[in-house]
Structure 1
Amino acid sequence: MVQYNFKKITVVPPGKDIVDVILSCTQRQTPTVVHKGYAISRIRQFYMCKVRYSQQNFCEKLSTIIDEFPQLDDIHPLYGDLFHVLYNKDHYKLALGQINTTRNTIAKISKDFLRLLKCGKSLYQCKRLKEAALGRMCTVVKKISPSLVYLEQIRQHMARLPSIDPNTRTVLICGYPNVGKSSFMNKVIRADVDVQPYAFTTKSLFVGHTDYKFLRYQVIDTPGILDRPFEDRNIIEMCSIAALAHLRAAVLFFLDISESCRYSIAQQAALFHSIKSLFMNKPLVIVCNKTDLQPLEGLSENDMKLVMEMKAEAMKTVTQAGGPNEEGVLLTMSTLTDDGVMAVKNAACERLLEHRVDVKMKSKKMMNCLNRFHDAVPKPRDNEERSVCIPLAVLEARVNAAAKEKKLEKDLENENGGAGVYSASLKKHYILANDEWKEDTLPEILDGHNVADFLDPDIKVRCEELEREEGLRLEEQAAEDAFQIDGHELTQEQKAILAQIRKKEALLIQEHRMKRTAESRPIVPRKFDKDRKFTSNRMGRQLSSMGVDPSSAMDRARNQSRGRKRESSVSRAAADSDDMEIDGLQSNKKLRLTSRFRSRSRAPKEVIPGEGFKDSEQKKKAIKKAKTATRNRNKDARRGEADRIIPTLKPKHLFSGKRTLGDKQAIRSARHWIWLVIFCNQTFVLAFFAILLGPTT
């Protein structure tokens, strides 16, 4: 099936934008450097390349526009008429024709100037010819700017057109304005069509989809049509006329029998008779809407006569269309109460389906297929009735085969009451010694053994013995816990002695930990200083030779090598004191106060004795070198995977000038040859003068 999707058409740029883009591409994509020293053939090729490249780009742009816009002679007549109604197809063809003429003109200009460039005699002449060629191309493109603007407006409007499939199953709704067409659409499709209490709310074709008998149907809501001459109808009405004329669909003609649409039944009947020629060979259903305001039986005789005349005309249309019956031609409906809405939809879809089947059956292709088949029917030779006779052996074979067939769970479910009644047994496939055991209640299993197999009849007596044994063990554990010293039953002297013992134990543990830490943390790892070359004595000798007092530096190194911590001063002060506190150690605040002092603030470049610097200048240089050495490392450490990185702010391929037709190696080779020629010429001149002067020199 053909599907038209005009949303894929490329945007049509103005003429000035086309010229700017192509000239920019020509400058960037072709060589840009030419010298007077080049051979004339090379100069000609240089400018011919620019002219040829510009012509190709212009033709490509214009060809894209021509190819993407639809040709009115190649598309469905529905869209051809819509184009004529909405845009005037003559103007549309003229705009595309101007673009096609411009494309051919540009190709001709390029051909003429390329022929002239082949005979160019100088750089200046070739350059002027190139400028003239590009100038004429740009002038021709700028002249069609109004056509390009017109085509861009058409493209924007075409993108808003509905995508209609002219060959699929279609239900078409038509009638006077405000008779309930859009309200019916909202009931039968999933979309939301705008419904208002005034005429011409729907200004264009609106497409929706519905389902009937598992088939998809296309429902089209058309704008309202007024009963007036063809040439007086506006663009909105002509959209409906084009859809009625070119779509093979089931037509629903809506009739407002309550006359609340401000049009009488006589006016609506006159519209029906004026456009009935558009209903030929199509299933037609007359829908009397708004029966909640006015029932069909309550109409006057004149109005009922008009309705019956329309029904008679609809029956003629059904007969011409080859419909199988004439029922359902006149239906009543109310979109307010949903009375008869689904009946109207089903009737229209059913009549359309029958009509399409009947048309296919009458087609030449179907008749060719039917002519190939022959249905042979035997003729009876007498009046006796002969029943079917199946041999007994065949029946027995069928019964045995049915008995051997394995029943499925679905068959068992159907035999035992169906879903919700029958419950499939999960135990019937158990492999047991006796099939009767399958439905038994399963005993509890522990560690892979059946508990029931190991049941002891005296289990209660044994449990009581275990409980008594557990009680005895709990009593023994309580007695052992009561024997430990908790301090509640001691005298004051015993409590003081116990506190001194615990305090001494804590001090011994701290000294052991500090000794172990100091021994295991040397200044230089032993694996790098096996010969003990990096020692404090050697550092002192080097500092003395430089004229620096090494005492402070050596003391500082020794203090660091001992691994002195804050707790060491505390333990040493506690060990030296004779009076040991009974209540425990001092508070943490006091320990921190005794273990450190407030350091005075210094300038970062001020030399401190023991740092190993001669003066502040030397320290300043050392700090600067340290920062420089760690800059890249710190930068890499701070940089994460999600950080935005611009390694090069000015890439060379974007900011450096373009080279000539030769590459770097060719330029370097040319320079070598030039210097070689100069050197050879100098040598030749010296030899010439030596020959002229002779032995006098």
Structure 2
Amino acid sequence: MVQYNFKKITVVPTGKDFVDIILSRTQRQTPTVVHKGYAIARIRQFYMRKVKYTQSNFHEKLSTIIEEFPRLGDIHPFYGDLLHVLYNKDHYKLALGQINTARNLIGKISKDYVKLLKYGDSLYRCKTLKVAALGRMCTVIKRVGPSLAYLEQIRQHMARLPSIDPNTRTILICGYPNVGKSSFMNKITRADVDVQPYAFTTKSLFVGHTDYKYLRYQVIDTPGILDRPFEDRNIIEMCSITALAHLRAAVLFFLDISGTCGYSIQQQAALFHSIKSLFMNKPLVIVCNKTDLQPFESLSEEDKKLVMEMKAEATKTVIGQGGEATNDEGVLLTMSTLTEEGVIAVKNTACERLLDQRVEQKMKSKKLNDCLNRFHVAMPKPRDQKDRPACIPQAVLEARAKNAEAAAEKEKRKLERDLENENGGAGVYSASLKKHYILAHDEWKEDIMPEILDGHNVADFIDPDILLRLEELEREEGLRQEQEEDDDFEMDGAELTPEQQADLAKIRKKKSLLIREHRIKKSTAESRPIVPRKFDKARIFTTQRMGRELSSLGINPKEAINRARSKSRGRKRERSLGENDGIDSMDVDDDNKKRRLMPRSRSRSKSRPPNEVIPGEGLKDSMQKSKAINLAKKSVNKRNKEARRGEADRTIPTTRPKHLMTGKRGIGKTQRR
């Protein structure tokens, strides 16, 4: 069970919020009405109660902050040093000391002003003393505002720290950056540590859990460490150093023998020798990782010598001041997290060595004798010389054989996944939903079920020869098109009269001109702006030209010109129709009724008003539509407001809280709150 749970620390409010909380609670939970006609003892009691209640609230809140934050001297040294590395314990203690000083100052202010209130001789003087007392208390809180903000930041960071139990069975993974520590952690635990092909991906301690021999082990992935002086190491590296120094754990020192991490074996060996003092009295395993890229046997003699020197150092276990060599089996292991070769062997070796060391330490402790006195191991004595080997009943053997057959049959059975892989994979294979139907005959399962539509079987109306008929129709259509192409001919003009030949030449010339103009326009269509007709400088499209062309063809152009002019009227407002035009506006049977009902300016377009009902909308009238539009606008107001609000925005649920704005209560009971 984890002893330290920093997630339960209460949120620390800012200085302004602190004042608002306390004064609001004082206003809500103490009487709020006093009159100058009251006896002076009652007036004094009223204001003394306000001051005492405010002081007790401040004291309670500040005491909660001081008590819930851990004291660095009372917690495990691992957490004490980790907090010092992350936050600087001097600043941390100073902030808590300022909070404690503020608590004492508020108590002193309350004591002084209560003493003065005992001698208040009027309501005005008592009220002034109360205001001064509360004001000085709030000033003290505002002065420690930076300390409160600093403690809140520390609380948020501590809540994100992993829950590490310093006293349980622990496996610690360390080494240079990018040597495969996080990949190994993801293989043996359910943790999901980010793995990237660059250094310092892991910036803090990560915790996972694994099981070995029915025991739970805590696995800690530490950030990478560089070989440099102690004072030059940054906060990320110091987290690893703190864990190595204070946790009783089996240490896995990872070596990247392929060199893809960016550091040579010589540099990694130098790091091992510089921090080997942290491995004292701890089971140590040197893990040569990434053997898929560089097998251990193919290393150079110089690199092998460095690794063997590290192995010799790892086999020494320091007891007291001297060192004693121990069994070197399992000290040096090879592994590849990519192919998972040797991963389980490394885990089992580390767990086994840690377990042996913990048992050995318990055997040397003084408590062992007290425990052994409670145990009695009974050893049975032989009653005769007859040999009695272990006997397994026949029923057990038969049950075991039957279970083995069932397991083999289960392995032979094809799963839906196997069928999917055999038949094209996901997206191609479609599982049959009829295979598990319980029918008299298995061949019935794939029968096509009739589809009934309006009481008729759809299959009765399907023509089985529809594809053949379609091919015949396409063949006939092709023959017909070929005949039409053969019938087309180009008029050569040999059998035409001279007049017809002249007309034909004009037509062909006109056609070629049109084709040429069209091609020119098409080639410059993208870059050519559309020119309004009023800016047509060439005067290509005019009614005079149209009249000349129609006259040359022998057509009277008058009607066409009048129709063109009537359609291209300007935006000038027409005169309203009335008695000046000789039209009786009261004559409902007049032929010009449609004309009278037309808008005054046809050339100016009119937009539809928003509340006009369009057929098919399902609304009764414009009033109902206006109401629906207003309701729709109001419904999205709250969503729009929520969408624009960020997590840092201050939320004021109500600007006029009822308990501050409604009628004041007397000095009576407050049970109804």
- The bucket for the TM-score relative to the shorter chain is 0.5 to 0.7
TM-score, structure 1 length as denominator?
Answer: 0.56
Aligned residue number for residue 358 of structure 1:
360
Deviation at 1:658, TM superposition (A): 3.2
Instruction: In structure 2, give the amino acid aligned to 1:171.
Output: I
Quote the Cα distance in structure 1 between the aligned partners of 2:120 and 2:259. Answer: 83
Instruction: In structure 2, give the amino acid aligned to 1:277.
Output: S
Q: Counterparts in 2 of 1:120-131, with a 5 A limit? A: 120-131=120-131
Quote the Cα distance in structure 2 between the aligned partners of 1:210 and 1:301. Answer: 37
Quote the Cα distance in structure 2 between the aligned partners of 1:140 and 1:251. Answer: 50
Deviation at 1:371, TM superposition (A): 6.9
Question: Structure 1 residues 366 and 55 mapped into 2: Cα distance closer, same or farther (>3 Å)?
Answer: same
Aligned residue number for residue 260 of structure 2:
260
Instruction: In structure 1, give the amino acid aligned to 2:300.
Output: S
Quote the Cα distance in structure 1 between the aligned partners of 2:668 and 2:290. Answer: 85
Structure with bigger helix share is 1
Quote the Cα distance in structure 1 between the aligned partners of 2:323 and 2:250. Answer: 11
Does the aligned pair in 2 maintain the 1:173–1:253 contact within 8 Å?
yes
Aligned residue number for residue 170 of structure 2:
170
Deviation at 1:27, TM superposition (A): 1.5
Q: Does 1:29 align with 2:29?
A: yes
Instruction: In structure 2, give the amino acid aligned to 1:12.
Output: V
Of the candidates 348, 351, 374, which is equivalent to residue 350 of structure 2?
348
Quote the Cα distance in structure 1 between the aligned partners of 2:660 and 2:140. Answer: 33
Of the candidates 654, 658, 669, which is equivalent to residue 664 of structure 2?
658
Deviation at 1:414, TM superposition (A): 2.3
Instruction: In structure 2, give the amino acid aligned to 1:215.
Output: L
Does the aligned pair in 1 maintain the 2:335–2:341 contact within 8 Å?
yes
Quote the Cα distance in structure 2 between the aligned partners of 1:655 and 1:15. Answer: 24
Quote the Cα distance in structure 1 between the aligned partners of 2:329 and 2:394. Answer: 47
**SS at the partner of 2:137?**
helix
Does the aligned pair in 1 maintain the 2:2–2:163 contact within 8 Å?
no
Q: Does 1:297 align with 2:297?
A: yes
**SS at the partner of 1:199?**
coil
Instruction: In structure 2, give the amino acid aligned to 1:420.
Output: K
Bigger Rg, structure 1 or 2: 1
Quote the Cα distance in structure 2 between the aligned partners of 1:661 and 1:109. Answer: 25
Provide Cα deviations, 1:448-482, integer angstroms capped at 9, x if missing partner. xxxxxxxxxxxxxxxxxxxxxxxxxxxxxxxxxxx
Aligned residue number for residue 237 of structure 1:
237
Provide Cα deviations, 1:308-337, integer angstroms capped at 9, x if missing partner. 110000001388898973310000011111
Provide Cα deviations, 1:357-387, integer angstroms capped at 9, x if missing partner. 111101121144447889999xxxxxxxx97
Does the aligned pair in 1 maintain the 2:316–2:324 contact within 8 Å?
no
Quote the Cα distance in structure 1 between the aligned partners of 2:233 and 2:152. Answer: 27
Q: Does 1:66 align with 2:70?
A: no
Does the aligned pair in 2 maintain the 1:51–1:134 contact within 8 Å?
yes
Aligned residue number for residue 460 of structure 1:
none
TM-score, structure 2 length as denominator?
Answer: 0.58
Quote the Cα distance in structure 2 between the aligned partners of 1:297 and 1:390. Answer: 55
Quote the Cα distance in structure 2 between the aligned partners of 1:203 and 1:112. Answer: 52
**SS at the partner of 2:402?**
coil
Identity %: 78
Question: Structure 1 residues 68 and 39 mapped into 2: Cα distance closer, same or farther (>3 Å)?
Answer: same
Provide Cα deviations, 1:612-632, integer angstroms capped at 9, x if missing partner. xxxxxxxxxxxxxxxxxxxxx
Q: Does 1:388 align with 2:394?
A: no
Question: Structure 1 residues 328 and 390 mapped into 2: Cα distance closer, same or farther (>3 Å)?
Answer: closer
Aligned residue number for residue 457 of structure 1:
none
Quote the Cα distance in structure 1 between the aligned partners of 2:141 and 2:188. Answer: 51
Quote the Cα distance in structure 1 between the aligned partners of 2:85 and 2:243. Answer: 12
Instruction: In structure 2, give the amino acid aligned to 1:16.
Output: K
Quote the Cα distance in structure 2 between the aligned partners of 1:228 and 1:342. Answer: 33
Question: Structure 1 residues 105 and 188 mapped into 2: Cα distance closer, same or farther (>3 Å)?
Answer: same
Quote the Cα distance in structure 2 between the aligned partners of 1:90 and 1:358. Answer: 39
Question: Structure 1 residues 45 and 10 mapped into 2: Cα distance closer, same or farther (>3 Å)?
Answer: same
Quote the Cα distance in structure 1 between the aligned partners of 2:133 and 2:659. Answer: 31
Aligned residue number for residue 432 of structure 2:
none
Provide Cα deviations, 1:463-502, integer angstroms capped at 9, x if missing partner. xxxxxxxxxxxxxxxxxxxxxxxxxxxxxxxxxxxxxxxx
Instruction: In structure 1, give the amino acid aligned to 2:297.
Output: E
Does the aligned pair in 1 maintain the 2:316–2:325 contact within 8 Å?
no
Quote the Cα distance in structure 2 between the aligned partners of 1:122 and 1:240. Answer: 67
Quote the Cα distance in structure 1 between the aligned partners of 2:668 and 2:308. Answer: 92
Question: Structure 1 residues 142 and 416 mapped into 2: Cα distance closer, same or farther (>3 Å)?
Answer: closer
Provide Cα deviations, 1:94-122, integer angstroms capped at 9, x if missing partner. 00110011001101110111111111111
Quote the Cα distance in structure 2 between the aligned partners of 1:191 and 1:228. Answer: 30
Deviation at 1:660, TM superposition (A): 2.8
Q: Which protein has greater RCO, CA pairs closer than 8 Å, 6+ apart?
A: 2
**SS at the partner of 1:288?**
strand
Q: Counterparts in 2 of 1:302-313, with a 5 A limit? A: 302-313=302-313
Residue segments in structure 2 that go unaligned for 5+ positions in a row: 405-657
Q: Judge which range, 319-328 or 11-20, deviates more.
A: 319-328
